[in-house]
Amino acid sequence: MHDKNKRFLRILLSQGILLFFVALCIYFQITTEGIFLNKDSLRMILLQASINTILAVGMTLVIITAGIDLSVGSVLAIAGVIAMNVLIHACPVTGWWAKPIWWSMPIAIVVSLLTASLVGVLCGLHNGLPITRLGVPPFIATLALMTIARGGAYLVTGGFPVGPLPREFTRVIGEGSILGVPLLVVVALSVAAGGHFILTRTTFGRHVYATGGSEQAARLSGVDVKRVKLIVYAFCGLLSGLAGFLLAGRLGAGDPKSGLGFELNAIAAVVLGGTSLMGGVGTVLGTLLGAVVISSLNVGLVLMGVSEFYQMVIKGYVILMAVVLDQLKGRVGK
């Protein structure tokens, strides 16, 4: 292949996700007769992308280290139901919601948020410790926790949703906004900005890339590879717990069935965003774009009236296409 052709193909592949997104928007705008890009549809796209973005930021760091986390959807569920149980039954201010005490709701929100975060971190450590200390492959360790956490969520709730949650809580978390921007979107963008800062402006971020690029080389360079991986999985668990808290606030209940298939959406967003499954390469900004693409695809197909079963098939092929593009980029770059 000539150098000019190779350079052109490399540019095309590197910008493939952006070109695909533009084409997708044009296609849906035409087929839905202008509905796709109206205010309500855009709001739905951003809200759907928010939870996935939070999960995908943690997944980005995990995949950059050449790992995988299949448990994020289940961790979201168990963190959400435990936090909502604390919110309703254990928090000392729960009995005061009927009274106009202004500071009771902020305390309840903080307590339940800390609970969800703690559960998420513990689940992340449950993944990270077997991987780093016992040499268990990430696929197996996280697959095991996916089942354990989902079962735990059902045990905690007896299989029933925790709720309904107080209207004050869902109004703040699920419907709240900052300067007209939904709170969920603000939190997702803040998480993405934080993840981008960690990867691009900190020593730990450089260690994450080094670990994924070559564990042996990173270790010889003085990087504590096991510590890096443990922190990355704990961080991914933390964000899963946060996502569980926010999703419960949006749904108005802590549902043990929530988060089913969310791990696939998160992985799809990460891979679509250009992060290599082989590790060592990836950006949070790319993941953010990938999450918006996945959400746009979902909303666009719904507006077109496409069956949910066909949506699953189409999404699967989109993921496959992203992996193929990743492989092509690797070959062209050689």
pLDDT at residue 2 in the model: 55
The full DSSP string for 138-202 is HHHHHHHHHHHHHHHHHHHHTTS-B-PPPHHHHHHHTT-EETTEEHHHHHHHHHHHHHHHHHHHS
198-223 burial, b for 16+ CB within 10 Å, e for fewer?
Answer: bbeeeebbebbbbbbbebeebeeeeb
pLDDT at residue 138 in the model: 94
pLDDT along the chain (334 residues), means of 10: 56 68 88 86 90 95 95 95 85 49 70 93 96 94 96 91 80 81 92 95 94 90 93 97 93 88 90 86 90 90 86 81 69 54
pLDDT at residue 101 in the model: 46
Domain boundaries of the chain, sorted by first residue: 35-332
Closest CA to 291 of 267, 318, 308: 267
Place of tokens 């077109």: 304
Place of tokens 């929530």: 258
pLDDT at residue 100 in the model: 44
Closest CA to 268 of 77, 56, 24: 56
Q: Report the DSSP beta bridge partners of residue 177.
A: 182
CA distance 199 to 159: 39
CA distance 244 to 74: 9
What are the structure tokens assigned to 25, written together?
A: 């928007």
CA distance 1 to 58: 38
What are the structure tokens assigned to 178, written together?
A: 């900052």
pLDDT at residue 232 in the model: 97
Q: Report the DSSP beta bridge partners of residue 182.
A: 177
- Kindly list the distances between the CA atom of residue 109 and the CA atoms of 52, 171, 198, 210, 249, in Å, as whole numbers in the listed order: 22, 12, 27, 38, 10
- CATH of 35-332, picked from 2.60.40, 1.10.760, 1.10.3470, 1.20.120, is 1.10.3470
259-289 burial, b for 16+ CB within 10 Å, e for fewer?
Answer: beebbbbbbbbbbbbbbbbebbbbbbbbbbb
Closest CA to 304 of 314, 319, 290, 292: 314
Check the CA dihedral 12-17-21-24 and report its sign: positive
pLDDT at residue 98 in the model: 45
Q: Tell me the whole-structure pTM to 2 decimals.
A: 0.89
pLDDT at residue 242 in the model: 96
pLDDT at residue 253 in the model: 86
